[in-house]
Amino acid sequence: MKDKRAFIFYFLMTLIFLDFANQIKVLSYKTYAFRIDNPVFSIVHLNNTGSAFSLFEDKTRFLIIFGLLAVLYIAFYVYRNICFEDKFQLLSLTLFSAGTLGNLLERIRQGYVVDYIKLNFINFPVFNTFDIMICIGIFLYLFFVLFDFNFLKFKKEKNGSN
């Protein structure tokens, strides 16, 4: 284990993000009764048996296995490689795991994922908050890894040497 605090943070924040996204989903069910429909977005409810952009449609077992392996791999990666000081990577991997776990649990429980956010200003697939968390997590991770934010550590070292 690289850093016990990092793994505990990862685990607890994954559960918090998972609960937060579930609460938004519950709110979407309540809101759906009022039919929110405006130029920006609508609340709809579609059962999606596939993944992003309806890839792997009706391949529920494959998506369950893939989601489970992804969550386990990320948890193991955090356990072995991430320090608590790597806050940006830790946050991005937490968002990714919470989103993947949310879709995974819903797929196991129902056999499909409920998508409910429809953008009205562009022709784009309907999605849910778990999908948003996955996309933000991946984007942030790639951004912080590609641009290597060591300048935060440099500032700390520079201030410590004065």
Q: pTM surpassing 0.95?
A: no
37 Rama class: left (phi>0) / alpha (psi -120 to 50) / beta: beta
96, 84 Cβ separation under 8 angstroms: no
pLDDT for 151: 47
Catalytic residue, from 37, 58, 115, 148: name it. 115
31-53 pLDDT per residue, tens: 665 667 788 888 888 899 988 77
141-160 pLDDT per residue, tens: 998 888 775 544 544 444 55
pLDDT for 106: 93
88-145 pLDDT per residue, tens: 889 999 999 999 999 999 999 999 999 989 999 999 999 999 999 999 999 999 988 8
pLDDT for 14: 95
Q: Is 148 a catalytic residue?
A: no
Q: Is 8 exposed, middle or buried (0-12, 13-18, 19+ CB in 10 A)?
A: exposed
pLDDT for 57: 82
**What tokens does 148 get?**
């290597």
Q: Is 131 a catalytic residue?
A: yes
pLDDT for 35: 67
Give the residue among 107, 78, 64, 86 at the shortest CA–CA distance from 14: 78
pLDDT for 15: 94
Number of domains in the chain: 1
pLDDT for 162: 47
- Higher pLDDT pick, 2 / 162: 2
57-68 pLDDT per residue, tens: 878 899 999 999
Q: Give the domain extent around 61.
A: 4-161
122, 66 Cβ separation under 8 angstroms: no
- Higher pLDDT pick, 26 / 66: 66
pLDDT for 32: 63
Catalytic residue, from 58, 86, 131, 148: name it. 131
